[in-house]
Amino acid sequence: MLCNPIQHEHVVSLPDGGCALQLYDTHVVTARPTGELVLTSGGFGHSTATQKSIAAALQLFGLTLIVSDEDRTSWSVSDGARFLRRFADGLVVPPNPQYPGLARAKRLLNNYQRRDTAAEQGDDVEMGDGQDAPRRGGRGGRGQRYTPY
């Protein structure tokens, strides 16, 4: 997607070696050194900016934020194959072999640093997989079987 940075959104390095995508004062996506992602809305689950920030970061790792058509504050996170969880503040997405250990943190940090540098220069940056908003889903894929990692 061509990414127009959301104002007040940036990535910060953490003392443990991980990093976090920060929107205003909230770490909405934290990449731990173990490879886990920790997600939180900071209590702003109704916010389109929060949805877009989390969705864009998740796309970097092949994950999708699904927003219910029936209740815009009801979200789920999926990899489309084995992982599907209803979003709740503090949701932990387990490590993925494709991004072991600090690889998730480095990918998150590098991608947003590249985006911010391009934005400062007035350029557009390709991010994610071509989707610029959370995927919408009516009933959350009922009838499909998902198993955790």
In terms of Cα–Cα distance, which of 31, 39, 149 is closest to 91?
39
User: Predicted confidence band at 78 (pLDDT cuts at 50, 70, 90)?
Assistant: very high
Entry pTM: 0.75
User: Predicted confidence band at 71 (pLDDT cuts at 50, 70, 90)?
Assistant: confident
User: Can you give the C-alpha Rg of the chain in angstroms?
Assistant: 15
Mean pLDDT of 60-69: 92
CB of 60 closer than 8 Å to CB of 53:
no
Q: What is the dihedral of CA 102, 104, 107, 111, to 10 degrees?
A: -130
pLDDT tens figures, 4-23: 446 788 899 999 999 999 99
The DSSP code for 58 is H
Measured between its terminal Cα atoms, the distance across the chain in Å is 28
Mean pLDDT of 94-108: 87
Mean pLDDT of 37-57: 90
Task: For residue 85, give both structure tokens.
Answer: 């969880």
CB of 124 closer than 8 Å to CB of 118:
yes
pLDDT tens figures, 108-133: 888 888 877 777 777 655 554 333 33
Q: What's the rounded Cα separation, in Å, for the pair 31 and 74?
A: 23
Mean pLDDT of 77-85: 93
